[in-house]
Amino acid sequence: MSSYFFRFFICSFLFLLVLTNAHAGSALQQKRSWNSQWDQFILEARLAETLSPTPADVQEVCPNYKILSTTEKDQFWLAFFQGLSYVESSWNTRARYVETTMGKDMVTGKQIVSEGLLQLSYQDLKIYGCNFDWAHDQPLDAADPYHSEKTIFDPARNLRCGMIIFKRIVARRGVIFTRSYWAPLLESRSNRAYRAFMDYIQSHTEMCR
């Protein structure tokens, strides 16, 4: 009799364990959504007017770009950065990835970590003048690398920094696809990230076709 109850207990425990893991897996895989409040952080940059020069390969992404109105161009750049952040972080504001092949971060002194919506790093504040605050974030990072109050996770700071980097790339190279900061924008155009990015753009920029 005791053997029966023991087997029953074990089977029940295993069932609950599987059920719990299934729910946990489902939660982890749950898709995040773009927050419309983030739009303003991209639109305020007015890339249709401030991006210089106009990338020579922009029509690869938006064939009708040259004939779009300024408002339509701004809407295109909004979709552009929505798509870029979707591929980079799945719109997870606290996404982080340790870059094992990129050396030490010149600000933190640690291995470079890509973080936030556009997967940026603390050294971007030194290279590009981005508004991250490592002095504020260091104790938070030590306690919990995913701490929600880290400045690099702030959508406004992260997106604005990403646009600064992108504008610098375009100013230097004159094109979108080059030896880029982000995998979807590499000049090889041969990786899955590029294809996922282009799929997103093509399905969210009707004005470009």
Element at 97 (helix H, strand E): strand 96-98
114 vs 152: CA distance, rounded Å = 10
Domain layout of the chain by residue ranges? 1-30, 33-208
62 vs 58: CA distance, rounded Å = 6
pLDDT at site 179:
87
Which residues are within 8 A (CB) of 142 and not within 5 positions of it... i.e. 6 or more apart? Answer: none
156 vs 200: CA distance, rounded Å = 22
The tens-digit pLDDT sequence of the chain (209 residues) is 445 444 444 444 333 333 333 333 333 334 589 999 999 999 999 999 999 999 999 999 999 999 999 999 999 999 999 999 999 999 999 999 999 999 999 999 999 999 999 999 999 999 999 999 999 999 999 999 999 999 999 999 999 999 999 999 999 999 999 987 999 999 999 899 999 999 999 999 999 99
Three-state secondary structure call for residue 174? coil
- Tokens 């109050």, located at residue: 149
pLDDT at site 31:
57
95: which 2 tokens? 């996404």
pLDDT at site 119:
98
86 vs 64: CA distance, rounded Å = 23
